[in-house]
Chains A and B, each alone.
Chain A
Amino acid sequence: MRRGKKKTTIDDIQLDSTLSKLIDGSLEVNLTVIKKILGDASDLVIRRMTLNNSNNLKGAVLYIDGLVDKTSVQDFILEVMMVEVPPEKISLAHVYEEIKNSALPIGEITETNKLDDLLLRLLSGETLVLVDKETQALSASTKGWKDRGVQETTSESVIRGPKESFTETLRTNTALVRRKIKDPNLRIDAKKIGNMTVTDVAVLYIEGTADESVVKELHARLDKIDIDGVLESGYIEEFIEDPPYSPFPKVYYTERPDSIAGGLLEGKVAIITDGTPNVLLVPALFVNFMQSSEDYYQRYDIGTFIRLLRLFSFVIALFMPSLYIAITTFHQEMIPAPLLINLAAQREGVPFPAFVEAVLMEATFEILREAGVRLPKAVGSAVSIVGALVLGESAVQAGLVSPAMVIVVAITAISSFVFPSYNMAIPVRMLRFSLMILAATFGLYGIILGLIALVLHLCSLQSFGVPYMSPFAPLVPKDQKDVLVRFPHWGLLSRPSATSHKNEKRTNGRNQSKGGSK
């Protein structure tokens, strides 16, 4: 920057060379530069003031309207600077020092001399205090904006258990987790990802319980991310996911603080992204997507029953249409005679092969579901009427599909809603179609081929070095207590060995006699 005259005009400043620059000694230059960089943003508030009348020492307070808590800016910054500082008892040289050390009653004050750092703080909602003739500037944390507040979870509701869900604000979210785990070993590492959004990201884990190599690997993968913006945790998920070419999710996400706390206790690592209530959890195993936090809140026998039910509906959601196609077009001898006659009668006059019939109905259902998700609530009922009546009922009456196929598609659809994790339902939905093609081509033989390929694929997957199918493959007998069945809490003495190698014991051993005395 050239500084030929005392007065520098905006036009004189070369923008590209200023960004990494230090703060200038002149307040006017600084303000001009900031204004220029922000393109005279309309929400930028600059309050100029005279700090020392006799010397005409100028100062300025800058903040972005809407991102700051106005009352704290008013009460703790503007009032202090304009009412308390001006009395001429402070010598000129000490004005800045005085403001920094004793004038601003605000918890978090940082001092910086870098312009880009200053800008980032300004845009994150902090209030800048600039004093003329100083090459340092103060930034006070006055973040405060309208947020949603902690509300009841909408996507993962439970009958028994906490109802709160994460919000869009990172700090609230870390607090929600801290409130559940008061262990001093809970670590919250901060990161900023995204060249333009500069999104705050927090990595949470319990030191001594979480696998260090996973934490290290996660940090490495997060640091490697190079993207302009992170608007949701899904951006991060795709970058840190293990093999990207697999329909199965290898990162668990939830908006329930209790699920995250449970995961941390198992030695997993959580990633909270600012701006989204969906928090990631790694490593994620196949079985995690079949489990709900409520399994642990209900009695263990109910939890076990529900888990088995979910597994059963997983099988139905994945295989039902293809089994129906395979059996009715290749293996009619497997159907009991009365049922076969019934099915054959339903199919009389249906113009399409069973496969086309099934694809037609499944596709219709997927379209309806997608429409239902995106529609405003008021129109939703209209879609369900059209979907249920017009497409279901009328398609049968028009003889386009057989009633049995409608039942098959319906039970498949209902079953796919049983998973607690929406992102496990998606690969099931997609694989269902490939299995249907296999079933229509080879019958049960094709389904078995597909199943073998599926199992091979699942067994080849890893999530942060942990085999995806553990504790089934490799089989860990001692971890079976909390997979398909859930043992009572007094029986869950150790953490799953897949995610926690150290600190395996969950208890201090005081209640171990409970199991024996039973």
Chain B
Amino acid sequence: MKGMWYLWNKSRLILIMFACLVFLSGCWSSRELDELGIAVALGMDKTEEETYALTVQIINPSEIAAEKATTRPPVTLYKAEGETLFEAFRKMTKTAPRKIYVSQLRLVVIGQSLAEEGVLPALDLLYRDPEFRTSFFMTIAKNASVEDILSVITPYEKIPANKIMETLTAAQENWAATEGVYIDQVISDIRSTGKSPVMTGILMKGKEDIGNSIKNIEYLDAPTRLEIDHLSVFKDDRMLGWLNEAESKGYNYIAGNVKSTLINFPCKEEGSGRIGVELLRTNASMDAKMKKGKPVISVDIEAEGNVGEVECQIDLSKPETLQMIAQKTEGDIKDKIQASIKAAQEVYESDIFGFGNAVSRKAPNYWKKVEKDWDAHFVDTEVKINTKVNIRRKGTNVQPVQKEG
């Protein structure tokens, strides 16, 4: 028997048979793209019966990529309740036609009641399940239920979750009163004794009843809108309340999150007209020192700005004027920082700035003593604020347009 088979000796045959075994596993865990329910936003809250209410926003790919306008909504909402989040997830298959695929999650919205009760237990699933990527923003539903917020159909951006994520990023980069927080940061802040977490809030504005209908985007000015609001203050994993805009900005200055923002102040003590300064770069550093057995925190902010808008008659060619503008800008930054520290120390008694971490690095021995009840010490910790602003440019116009002569 010469020929091809002659060449295949026994061991080779056995090897090939083993190689074939491998293929018996079939296409295990393979999923076609059209079998996936791609979830972009996830909402969690507690119901009155103490169960988890899970809301998932799933995209409808053919509507989003459609070349022609359709009348079907680009996303769909599925809801389920369960004793645990995982149970709720699996129960969702009772209503959803496809298995929920969460890798592309952009946004998690936490209901206010769950936030006030403590978010940590609910975060375990999001952190443990391998399918979750940790690149989604954590937010809090401020004035509406999670479900209502996730069912708003947004104009301009077809996927509401994307809209929120992009608004959040844009606002963070250009306005600096919000902060997009990822889950790993939330968890590490909660578990850290020297820092408490903050999360951005989402607000629903306008008529609530139109928001979840495609009608919402048929108007030029959408009746229901989603807005990114200021920061919520947490202590451990429980939400205590909200910072206002100035306090939120103050927080971001300290945290070094300010990339660019706008500051404005009146030209003179009395009279109308304001000056707007565009901050381009800020550099924040935080340090702790021990003074008489007590920690003193110093916060240094260095910023660079442009004169963006001048509404009054001042002589911008004089260096004194620029110096005045720089000083007033420094004052404004300082005010906001002080306001945020005041809110954290007096209202919420929660160290959202991470002063505790700074102390632990500089004075580890002292830290060991106060670690257990740091928040009590935090309340009356002295904070020194140094700000330094350089005004670099004045734009294309040397003098204000109103200036005579």
Considering the chains assembled together, what is the distance between the CA atoms of A330 and B26 in angstroms? 13
- Cβ of B168 to closest chain A Cβ, rounded Å: 15
Which residues of chain A come closer than 8 Å to B49, judged between CB atoms?
none
Does more than half of chain A's interface fall in helix, strand or loop, or is it mixed?
helix
Beyond A341-B61, A342-B65, A345-B61, whether A333 also contacts B103 by CB under 8 A is yes
Q: Report B59-100 residues with CB < 8 Å from chain A CB.
A: 59, 61-62, 64-66
A409 at the interface (CB under 8 A from B): no
User: Taking each of B23, B30, B65, B66, which has the highest tally of chain A beta carbons within 10 Å of its own beta carbon?
Assistant: B30
Beyond A333-B131, A337-B104, whether A344 also contacts B36 by CB under 8 A is yes
Considering the chains assembled together, what is the distance between the CA atoms of A342 and B159 in angstroms? 13
Beyond A345-B62, A441-B25, whether A340 also contacts B104 by CB under 8 A is yes
Considering the chains assembled together, what is the distance between the CA atoms of A350 and B34 in angstroms? 8
Beyond A337-B40, A337-B104, whether A344 also contacts B34 by CB under 8 A is yes
A440 at the interface (CB under 8 A from B): yes
Chain B residue at smallest Cβ distance from A325: B30
Number of B residues contacting the other chain (C-beta, 8 Å)? 28
Residues 311-351 of A, flagged 1 when their CB comes within 8 A of B and 0 if not, give 00000000000000000111011000100111111111110
A345 contacts B106, C-beta separation under 8 Å: no
Which residues of chain B come closer than 8 Å to A283, judged between CB atoms?
none
Which residues of chain B come closer than 8 Å to A330, judged between CB atoms?
29-31
User: Taking each of A330, A343, A348, which has the highest tally of chain B beta carbons within 10 Å of its own beta carbon?
Assistant: A348
B30 contacts A440, C-beta separation under 8 Å: yes
Chain A residue at smallest Cβ distance from B65: A345
- Cβ of B180 to closest chain A Cβ, rounded Å: 15
Beyond A348-B62, A441-B23, whether A353 also contacts B106 by CB under 8 A is no
Which residues of chain B come closer than 8 Å to A349, judged between CB atoms?
34, 62
Number of A residues contacting the other chain (C-beta, 8 Å)? 24
Residues 335-371 of A, flagged 1 when their CB comes within 8 A of B and 0 if not, give 0010011111111111001110000000000000000
B221 at the interface (CB under 8 A from A): no
User: Taking each of A328, A337, A340, which has the highest tally of chain B beta carbons within 10 Å of its own beta carbon?
Assistant: A337
A443 at the interface (CB under 8 A from B): yes
Which residues of chain A come closer than 8 Å to B29, judged between CB atoms?
330
B32 contacts A329, C-beta separation under 8 Å: yes
Chain B residue at smallest Cβ distance from A245: B7
B398 at the interface (CB under 8 A from A): no
B38 contacts A345, C-beta separation under 8 Å: no
Residues 49-93 of A, flagged 1 when their CB comes within 8 A of B and 0 if not, give 000000000000000000000000000000000000000000000
A330-B30, A347-B34, A354-B33 known; 9 other A-B pairs, CB under 8 Å? A332-B31, A333-B104, A337-B162, A340-B104, A344-B59, A345-B62, A348-B61, A354-B32, A441-B22
What are 15 pairs between A and B in contact, CB < 8 Å?
A: A328-B33, A329-B27, A329-B31, A332-B31, A332-B36, A332-B101, A333-B104, A337-B162, A341-B64, A344-B36, A347-B32, A348-B62, A440-B30, A441-B25, A442-B25
Which residues in B have some Cβ–Cβ distance to A below 8 Å?
A: 22-23, 25-27, 29-34, 36, 38, 40, 59, 61-62, 64-66, 101, 103-104, 106, 131, 133, 159, 162
Which residues in A have some Cβ–Cβ distance to B below 8 Å?
A: 328-330, 332-333, 337, 340-350, 353-355, 440-443
